[in-house]
C-alpha cells in the first residue's frame, strides 16, 4: 500500500530534508521510524528538498508499506517514534502511480523577515533585517519574477534547465514582520532565498529593477544577496490527484 503523508518540521534541528550518510536529515528520521514499523527498510520520497535550517509547515512524502495498518494508528505510531521536531499531520492512501515530487502542481514558500527590536527568540525562525526597506520598490521587484523565466542567475549549482514558473509573489505585513509569499511549480537550490535576496537588494537601493530584468533575461550574470535559511518555510504543496 502506498501512502501520502503531510508533515511539518523545525528545520533548525536538521541538516536539511535529504538523507545524509554523516548527519541528520529529515528523510533519515522518517525512514528510521517507518522501517521500524515495517520491519524492513522503507524508502521515503519527498515533494522536494529543503536546505539546512529551512522549516516546513506542509512538506509531503510518499512511501509504501506491506503491513496492513489503519492510517490513524500509523500516524499515531509515527508521531510517538519520531524525533520531537518532526510531526505527521495527515496520512492518506494513494494510487501506486502517485509520486510526491513528480505530481506536484504548485508549492508555496513563505520567507519571514523581522523588522522589530532585537529578539533572541526569533533568531532561528526569521531573518532580522535592519536596513532601509522601500516597500514600493520591493513590490515592483516581486512582479518581475512572476511568469516563466530562466532563473539561472537566481539558483545555486549546475542544471540542464533553469526554467520555471512563478504564479504569484507578494509581500504581506503583520506587526513587525514582512511575509514574502511565493507560489510556483518548481524551485531549485537556493532559488527562493536568492529571489528574496534580490528583492531586498532593490528595496535597500543596492541594486535596481533594471539589474533584475537583465539577470532574468540572461543579459547579465550579476549576483544578488542570498538570505539566510532560518526565515524560510515550505507552507503548502498541492496536487491534482489527491
Q: Where are the domains of the chain?
A: 2-94, 104-239
Q: Provide DSSP, 80-109.
A: HHS-TTEEEEEEEEE-TT--TTTTEEEEEE
C-alpha distances in Å from residue 144, one per residue of 47, 60, 202, 211, 236: 26, 29, 12, 11, 23
| Integer Cα distance of 188 and 50 in angstroms | 10
CATH of segment(s) 2-94: 3.30.70.580
| Integer Cα distance of 114 and 179 in angstroms | 9
78-130 pLDDT per residue, tens: 999 999 999 999 999 999 999 999 999 999 999 999 999 999 999 999 999 99
169-209 pLDDT per residue, tens: 999 999 999 999 999 989 999 999 999 999 999 999 999 99
Catalytic (active-site) positions: 51
CATH of segment(s) 104-239: 3.30.70.660
Nearest to 26 by CA among 11, 41, 37: 11
Cell of 49: 528538498
For CA atoms 36, 42, 45, 50, the dihedral sign is positive
Q: Do residues 5 and 88 make contact, with C-beta atoms less than 8 angstroms apart?
A: yes
Whether pTM > 0.85 for this model: the answer is yes
Say whether 104-239 and 2-94 share the same fold.
Answer: yes
Q: Do residues 233 and 109 make contact, with C-beta atoms less than 8 angstroms apart?
A: yes
Amino acid at each position: 500500500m502506498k501512502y501520502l503523508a503531510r508533515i511539518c518540521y523545525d528545520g533548525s534541528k536538521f541538516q536539511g530534508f535529504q538523507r545524509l550518510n554523516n548527519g541528520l536529515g529529515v528523510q533519515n528520521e522518517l525512514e528510521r521510524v517507518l522501517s521500524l514499523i515495517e520491519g524492513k527498510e522503507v524508502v521515503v520520497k519527498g515533494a522536494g528538498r529543503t536546505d539546512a535550517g529551512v522549516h516546513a509547515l506542509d512538506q509531503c512524502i510518499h512511501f509504501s508499506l506491506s503491513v496492513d495498518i489503519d492510517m490513524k494508528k500509523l500516524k499515531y505510531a509515527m508521531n510517538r517514534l519520531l524525533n520531537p521536531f518532526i510531526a505527521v499531520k495527515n496520512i492518506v492512501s494513494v494510487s501506486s502511480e502517485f509520486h510526491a515530487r513528480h505530481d506536484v502542481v504548485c508549492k508555496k514558500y513563505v520567507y519571514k523577515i523581522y523588522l522589530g527590536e532585537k529578539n533572541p527568540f526569533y533568531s532561528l525562525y526569521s531573518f532580522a533585517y535592519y536596513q532601509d526597506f522601500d516597500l514600493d520598490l520591493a513590490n515592483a521587484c516581486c512582479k518581475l519574477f512572476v511568469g516563466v523565466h530562466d532563473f539561472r542567475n537566481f539558483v545555486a549549482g549546475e542544471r540542464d534547465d533553469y526554467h520555471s514558473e512563478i504564479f504569484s509573489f507578494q509581500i504581506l505585513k503583520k506587526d513587525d514582520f514582512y511575509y514574502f509569499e511565493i507560489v510556483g511549480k518548481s524551485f531549485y537550490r537556493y532559488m527562493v532565498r536568492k529571489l528574496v535576496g534580490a528583492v531586498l537588494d532593490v528595496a535597500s537601493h543596492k541594486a535596481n529593477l533594471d539589474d533584475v530584468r537583465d539577470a532574468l533575461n540572461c543579459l547579465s550574470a550579476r549576483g544578488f544577496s542570498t538570505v539566510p535559511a532560518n526565515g524560510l518555510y515550505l507552507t503548502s504543496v498541492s496536487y491534482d490527484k489527491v
